[in-house]
Every structure is written in C-alpha cells, then in structure tokens.
C-alpha cells in the first residue's frame, strides 16, 4: 500500500514536534511537508528549530528524525495542496482559524487546535468513544462546499476524562461529573509555556479557558451525533510540576447504582468502538485499571502502551453524588491527548473512507 502523503503546519512548536514523532515510521502515513511561521520559511527543519542562542529546539527524548532534519520548511500558507493527501495541524487557535479552512477546501485537516471544535458541523472524535461522529464530516462538506474537512481533536484534559466515562455511560449511564485536574506543564507548550519560576514548589490553580473546554467538549463527545449529552460537568483545572501526563480526580454520578467492582470490571472489559481495535496506534487496552492504591502516577503510568492507554485507579464509592463513584486517572496529554491521538483519529478516518490518496500527476 502506498502511504498517504502528509504535511504538517506548525511543525516547529512542541505540538508539531510531537506530530513528527507520532508519524515517524507510520505504516499508513508519510510526512513529506513541513510548514511553520514565515520566520522559519526557507530554512531546513533543523535550522528552523535552532534558537538564536544556538540551542537545538528539539524537545523530545527521541532524536530528531534525520530524514526530516534537512527538509526545507515553508510558510504556513504556502503548502501546495496538490502534493499532499492529508494536512496535520499543530498551530495555535488563531492561526488555525485562518489556515485550516484554506486547506480544508480540498484536503482533510486533522488538527490539535481548538478553533473549530465547537462548530455544529465539526465532529470532536476520540476514536474508541465516538467513532460514529465522523458522519458530521458529510454535513460539514455540504454546508461549507469543501472537498476536504476539518477534524479537530478535543482538549487533552477532556480526552482522559471522556475515555474513562465512555464505558460507564454505556453500562450504567452518566448523569454528572466533577473533576479536579493536576495538569502537566507540557500542555502549555513552549512559548511562553509555564515558567519554572511559577511552578517549582508550587501549584497554579487555574488554566485559562480549560474548565469551560472540558465541560463543553465532554457533552459533545458523549452525545449523539450533533446532539450534546445532558451530562452535567463541573471542573477545577490546576497546573502542577509534572512534565507530561495529566492526573484527574473524577467523581461520577451514574445512572444506576454500581459498586467499585462493577466499575472496575466494566472498564477493564471495555474494548471501545470495534472499528478502532486494529488501528496501528490503538493500545492493547484503552483503559488500564490498577488496584494499587498509590497508582496511577503520571511519571510511572503516562507511557503505558506508548502513551495511548489511560490508567485508572483508586476506584471507590463516593458518598455525596447519587450513585456516586470516584477514581483517579492519568492520561498522556501530548500523546493520546494530542499528536498521537490525532494520528489515531486519522487512522480511523482512513478506515472509514474519509482519507484517500489524491489523484496524483
């Protein structure tokens, strides 16, 4: 099978670098185009990553892939759409608002940006949870007169929560969710990101707009196609001195009484949408449930199954909510919650027939 040719916009930022890592040696996709801000245009990727002080701004522990290091970066709006089959987007929301529709006229755009997440004709897909939401793409194409489309990923904090709610919703119903997050600094990217001076020996009890995103997105993801779910969601999102991996303390009001053992069983047995089971990026299990009361921990559990599994522990009864259950989850915010999650969604969309090789000259 010929691989689909992919281009990445926002290639130099932290999110972009994570896409580069997520697409490395992918069996279905090949990254052949890189775009970034005009400042980077015309430089090789390696040079575009280099800071004025000489530091190579590549922040992953995996080395920078040699094949891409020498690729010349173009400005974000200068990609030739006829050369690619898919666009991945790792730009900020304001840039996304301008660039993504431009490419969506002819190409699928799989995006980590929040710009279009809340539009009625835009699906918010977590493959194991709501694979069927992709049918909104047809509506989007019709309404907007596009051949391509925009498929954004949810906020990374939403992803971890929604993945754990999905099996509970299916088995027991979910009426309300309260969640306090302890989020990793990588979620803020690098520019400006979280300053060390703010987070060493500290907690920051607020992340701008994050709580609203989680509340709105969770309803959209758990709902039927185009119809937000009635679940009530209330959160407090905080930042802690952790590099990667969001920890979330969730309290869930179920539709009917269930014991912690019931919840554990349902989570352990959950297989997600059947279409996702054989996707290249799918982990053996979407949820890893532990009985060790001191787990999950972000440092020890974030990388389980390449950062694609969500770890759940401390499943207990909650004495306040009706049919209340509480638990703690750890989700890898820059893998399942961002670039690798977007690649997983691309895999699903390919299986569903939404991605195809463009006619090539």
Name the residues that contact a second copy, by CB under 8 A.
14, 53-56, 59, 61, 176-178, 180, 182, 185-186, 190-206, 208, 215, 232-234, 236, 238, 240-243, 247, 249, 251, 253, 292-300, 303, 313-314, 318-321, 324, 326, 328
φ and ψ at residue 276, rounded to 5 degrees:
-95, -10
Out of 6, 156, 235, 237, which one is annotated catalytic? 156
Residues ≥6 apart with Cβ < 8 Å to 95: 10, 76, 113
Out of 133, 235, 237, 246, which one is annotated catalytic? 246
**134 vs 331, which CB is nearer to a second copy?**
331
Residue 164, Cβ density class (10 Å: 0-12 exposed, 13-18 middle, ≥19 buried): buried
DSSP β-ladder status, 246-254 and 174-183 = antiparallel
Minimum gap (Å) between residue 61 Cβ and a second copy? 6
Minimum gap (Å) between residue 79 Cβ and a second copy? 28
DSSP β-bridge partners for residue 34: 8
Find out whether 149 and 102 touch, Cβ atoms under 8 Å: no
Round to the nearest angstrom and report the end-to-end CA distance of the chain. 18
- Residues 61, 161: Cα–Cα separation, whole Å: 27
Q: Is 133 a catalytic residue?
A: no
**195 vs 224, which CB is nearer to a second copy?**
195
Minimum gap (Å) between residue 80 Cβ and a second copy? 33
- Residues 47, 258: Cα–Cα separation, whole Å: 56
**71 vs 240, which CB is nearer to a second copy?**
240
Minimum gap (Å) between residue 301 Cβ and a second copy? 9
**302 vs 340, which CB is nearer to a second copy?**
302
- Residues 129, 167: Cα–Cα separation, whole Å: 8
Minimum gap (Å) between residue 67 Cβ and a second copy? 19
With vertex at residue 168, the alpha carbon angle to CA 283 and CA 226, rounded to the nearest 5 degrees, is 85
Phi-psi bin for 50: left (phi > 0), alpha (psi -120 to 50), beta?
A: beta
- Residues 339, 185: Cα–Cα separation, whole Å: 16
Find out whether 128 and 141 touch, Cβ atoms under 8 Å: no
Neighbours of 173 (CB within 10 A): 14
**63 vs 353, which CB is nearer to a second copy?**
63
Phi-psi bin for 145: left (phi > 0), alpha (psi -120 to 50), beta?
A: left
Minimum gap (Å) between residue 119 Cβ and a second copy? 23
**134 vs 155, which CB is nearer to a second copy?**
155
**212 vs 271, which CB is nearer to a second copy?**
212
Q: Comparing C-alpha atoms, which of 200, 184, 162, 207 is closest to residue 303?
A: 184
Minimum gap (Å) between residue 63 Cβ and a second copy? 9
- Residues 49, 43: Cα–Cα separation, whole Å: 9
Residues annotated as catalytic (active site), given as ranges: 156, 246
């Amino acid at each position: 099978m010929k691989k689909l040719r992919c281009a990445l916009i926002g290639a130099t930022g932290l999110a972009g670098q994570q896409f580069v890592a997520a697409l490395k040696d992918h069996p279905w996709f090949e990254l052949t185009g890189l775009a970034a801000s005009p400042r980077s245009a015309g430089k090789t990727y390696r040079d575009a990553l280099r800071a004025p002080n000489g530091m190579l701004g590549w922040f992953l522990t995996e080395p920078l892939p040699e094949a891409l290091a020498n690729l010349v970066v173009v400005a974000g709006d200068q990609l030739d759409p006829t050369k690619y089959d898919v666009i991945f987007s790792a730009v900020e929301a304001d840039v996304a608002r301008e660039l993504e529709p431009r490419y969506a006229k002819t190409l699928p755009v799989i995006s980590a940006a929040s710009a279009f997440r809340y539009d009625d004709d835009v699906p918010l897909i977590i493959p194991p949870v709501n694979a069927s939401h992709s049918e909104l793409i047809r509506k989007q194409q019709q309404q907007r007169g596009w051949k391509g489309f925009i498929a954004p990923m949810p906020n990374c904090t939403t992803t971890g929560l929604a993945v754990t709610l999905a099996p509970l919703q299916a088995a027991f119903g979910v009426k309300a969710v309260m969640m306090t997050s302890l989020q990793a600094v990588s979620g803020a990217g690098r520019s400006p990101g979280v300053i060390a001076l703010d987070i060493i020996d500290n907690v920051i009890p607020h992340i701008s707009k994050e709580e609203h995103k989680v509340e709105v997105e969770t309803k959209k993801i758990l709902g039927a196609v185009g119809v937000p779910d009635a679940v009530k969601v209330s959160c407090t999102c905080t930042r802690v001195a952790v590099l990667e991996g969001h920890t979330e303390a969730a309290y869930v009001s179920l539709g009917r009484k269930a014991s912690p053992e019931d919840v554990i069983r349902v989570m352990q047995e959950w297989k997600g949408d059947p279409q996702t089971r054989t996707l290249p990026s799918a982990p053996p299990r979407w949820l890893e449930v532990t009985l060790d009361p001191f787990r999950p921990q972000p440092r020890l559990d974030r990388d389980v199954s390449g950062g694609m599994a969500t770890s759940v522990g401390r499943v207990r009864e909650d004495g306040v909510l009706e049919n209340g259950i509480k638990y703690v989850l750890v989700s890898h915010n820059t893998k399942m919650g961002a670039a690798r999650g977007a690649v997983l969604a691309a895999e699903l969309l390919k299986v569903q027939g939404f991605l195809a090789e463009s006619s090539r000259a």
